[in-house]
Amino acid sequence: MEKNREIIIMVDDDITNLTVARNNLAGTYKVLTAPSGHKLFLLLEKVIPALILLDIEMPEMDGYEVMEKLKENRKTADIPVIFLTSKIDPESEIKGLNLGAVDYITKPFSRDLLIKRIDLHILLERQRNELLRHNRNLESEIDKKAKTVIELQNAILITISELVECRDNVTGGHIERTQHYLGLMIDFLMEHDVYTEELETWDMDLLVMSSQLHDVGKISIRDDILMKPGKLTADEFEEMKSHTSHGVDIIKRVASCTTESEFLRYAEVFADSHHERWDGNGYPNGLKGDEIPLQGRLMALVDVYDALTNDRPYKKAFSHESSVNIIKNESGVRFDPKIVDVFLKHEQEFSPDIINKRKYNAQYDNLESTLNMVSNLLSTRSDDENDHAGKIKVYLDIFYDALLSDERYCKEVSAWDKDIFLVSAQLHDVGKIAVSDNILNKAGELSDDEFDSIRSHPSFGVEVVEQIKESVGSDKLLYHAETMAGSHHEKWDGTGYPLGLKGDDIPLQGRIMALVDVYSALTADRPHRKKMDHEEALEIIIKDRGISFDPALVDVFLECAKGFDDGSM
């Protein structure tokens, strides 16, 4: 049962003391010995003991210095240390305890006393660790429950918000956009030190989340009014105006059923005041100037900007520039002049073009991160795979630019996003995840069954990309990846796989990838052969022109492939 015993390290420059301690403790603990502080730290690189017995009086590095060094290292700082010493003065004992020792035993010591003291401190350390584990688990459970509550809260808010939006399919996305604009405006106000004192008192996460309910009162408005394509009558407009008061009533009813109130207080203010006007001519309360809560003044601007720049049942969308001019002209009339001034300084940030580009970049970053993760997974199968993927991207970059200059291919290629095309190429062989290592790395000739397994990787690759599509949430961003994965082993003469496509029936992405994939494979070592040089690889590609490869593509490839053989690959 030696392996189940607690490990103790005894540090003493006296070999006799080490031998005595080891003999006394051997039946109870697994004892390791170190004749110096230096040897102790070498030992600690290999094993972390349950406790250290440390002599104070040692040459080169005394026990106090050892103790200080132990405490400096996070890995060893919590190991219980008992000082063993012949010193019996209180000052030495206090010094040792102040440095972090858990006990102080004077020599000579009895075996039973030493074991009892060690047992006590190991028990205390176990209990301390158990308490820490319990607290961590408790904190984790609390965090998990809090996260669940927040997710539930968000889900409820989103559901209610979408319920409002689904009443009018023209204004879909309004709540998401106004929430985003609100966050931008708050950041810009803070940047320019406008209303900072009040802004700093807000819980920003709750505030922005609660803004989703600013139009919740529209649930109470009749469809024929909400979706009327023409101008509202006076009575219809009065009913439309009532959505603010209805929103307040709805939020108050929700608040009466829950102990959570802060984010609902924010929501109530948004619902009640986002149609008030700076000049006092708004509704429902006719508040004027600073009487209008800052939340309402902010929401008023972002709400109107979004309404102006998007289609409504009664109008077509205005341009960003026209919308900005309308808001500028309403400064001090409908809107708080200070807020308008900040908005005008950053109005380009609200442009739909900028917003859409930012969303696109976020999607692209998500795609790149996902594809890099998958590519790294592939590279764990073989260093060759990682090297191959890197080279493919470089070759494609050069080949892509060459195709842009060729009249036969420039029209189709110029319609692609080059960055997405290049990053998607990492997934062309993703289906090899389903092929066993002994087949992928086999040094000899493959059997028919093994070759069938290899041939399955394009079809499986398409399935993998389909799954990634769901996590990334974009078909457009992964179109190239799916196409390349499924078609890069098709041949111009129709004898390829998995579908046996022929000529121009093979997607251009697959024909392009077929060339660079084969070139990269030929110029790299493989389990069954040594790599070829650049010229040998090109000779094979030339022989396969019109058989495996698109002949016109081969011509372009041969020209740009001069840039492949620069000695850096």
3-state SS string for 89-148: CHHHHHHHHHCCCCEEEECCCCHHHHHHHHHHHHHHHHHHHHHHHHHHHHHHHHHHHHHH
What is the pLDDT confidence band of residue 550, given thresholds at 50, 70 and 90? very high
Specify the pLDDT at position 423. 79
- Residue 47 · residue 6 · CB < 8 Å: no
CB-neighbour burial class of residue 202 (10 A; exposed 0-12, middle 13-18, buried 19+):
middle
CATH code reported for the domain at 166-350:
1.10.3210.10
Specify the pLDDT at position 375. 54
Residue 235 has pLDDT above 60, yes or no: yes
- Characterize the bridge pairing of strands 103-106 and 81-85: parallel
Specify the pLDDT at position 173. 72
What is the pLDDT confidence band of residue 169, given thresholds at 50, 70 and 90? very low
Three-state DSSP state, 58:
coil
- Residue 393 · residue 513 · CB < 8 Å: no
What is the pLDDT confidence band of residue 95, given thresholds at 50, 70 and 90? confident
The residue with greater pLDDT, 68 or 93, is 68
- Residue 362 · residue 388 · CB < 8 Å: no
Residue 100 has pLDDT above 90, yes or no: no
- Residue 289 · residue 278 · CB < 8 Å: yes
Average pLDDT of the chain is 82
Q: Structure tokens of 135?
A: 């607290």
Q: Any alpha helices (H) in 242-293, and if so which ranges?
A: 243-255, 262-273
Least confident of 21-30, 405-414, 551-560: 21-30
Place of tokens 């508040």: 287
Residue 263 has pLDDT above 90, yes or no: no
Q: Structure tokens of 347?
A: 């109005």
Q: How many helices (H) and strands (E) does the chain have?
A: 26, 5
Three-state DSSP state, 386:
helix
Percentage of the chain exceeding pLDDT 70: 82
What is the pLDDT confidence band of residue 14, given thresholds at 50, 70 and 90? confident
CB-neighbour burial class of residue 437 (10 A; exposed 0-12, middle 13-18, buried 19+):
exposed
Q: How many residues does the chain have?
A: 569
Measured CA to CA, the distance from residue 314 to residue 337 in angstroms comes to 28
Q: Do the domains at 166-350 and 356-563 have one common CATH topology?
A: yes
What is the pLDDT confidence band of residue 251, given thresholds at 50, 70 and 90? confident
Least confident of 96-110, 201-215, 291-305: 96-110
At 361, the amino acid letter reads N
Delimit the domains of the chain by residue range. 2-126, 166-350, 356-563
Specify the pLDDT at position 488. 94
Residue 172 has pLDDT above 60, yes or no: no
Percentage of the chain exceeding pLDDT 90: 37
At 301-344, the pLDDT tens digits run 999 999 998 887 778 889 999 999 999 999 999 999 999 999 99
> In the beta sheet, which residues pair with residue 7?
30
Measured CA to CA, the distance from residue 569 to residue 554 in angstroms comes to 21
CATH code reported for the domain at 2-126:
3.40.50.2300
Provide the sign of the torsion angle of the four alpha carbons 69, 70, 76, 77, taken in this order: negative
At 428-478, the pLDDT tens digits run 887 877 777 677 777 778 888 888 888 888 988 888 788 767 655 556 667
Domain 356-563: CATH superfamily is Hypothetical protein af1432 (1.10.3210.10)
CA 71 to chain centre: 35
The mean pLDDT value for 485-498 works out to 95
